[in-house]
Amino acid sequence: MSIINNPLKTIKIIHTIIWIFFNVVLFYMAYAVIVDKIDLFVWIGIALILMEGIVLLLFRKMCPLTIMARKYSESTQDNFDIYLPNWLAKYNKLIYTSFFVVIIIGLVFRIFT
């Protein structure tokens, strides 16, 4: 079955690509804070993460892609809509929110010391 004929697979691929993008953003921000290279990309990264947070809040802590994927699956697995291990899909928001908070704390430390 091709990707065109499989909407769930298409959503999973798009969702995974977006997840990878946000990982790159977060890890760049962490790197920049660690090496004290606070530049425009750090502030853009913060804006992107905050916009993602707003989207999640608007959709009741659910990614809009998850809502779309639900139309094509009855699965109760946390990773039914993304190519991640189930444990990571389950705790994704907790892990990455915590990581973002640590980055922000480090950023504040860098700015004020």
CA 52 to chain centre: 7
Radius of gyration of the chain (CA): 16
pLDDT at 3: 65
Mean pLDDT computed over 50-77: 96
Instruction: Work out the pLDDT band at 1, boundaries 50, 70, 90.
Output: low
User: Burial of 69 by CB count in 10 Å (0-12 exposed, 13-18 middle, 19+ buried)?
Assistant: buried
Average pLDDT over the chain, rounded to an integer: 96
Instruction: Work out the pLDDT band at 4, boundaries 50, 70, 90.
Output: confident
In three-state secondary structure terms, 103 is helix
Q: Two tokens at 81?
A: 């809509």
Is 70 exceeded by the pLDDT of residue 106?
A: yes
pLDDT at 5: 85
pLDDT at 64: 97
Q: Residue 5 is which amino acid?
A: N
What's the CA gap between 28 and 42, in Å, rounded? 8
Mean pLDDT computed over 81-98: 98
What's the CA gap between 17 and 21, in Å, rounded? 6
Is 70 exceeded by the pLDDT of residue 2?
A: no
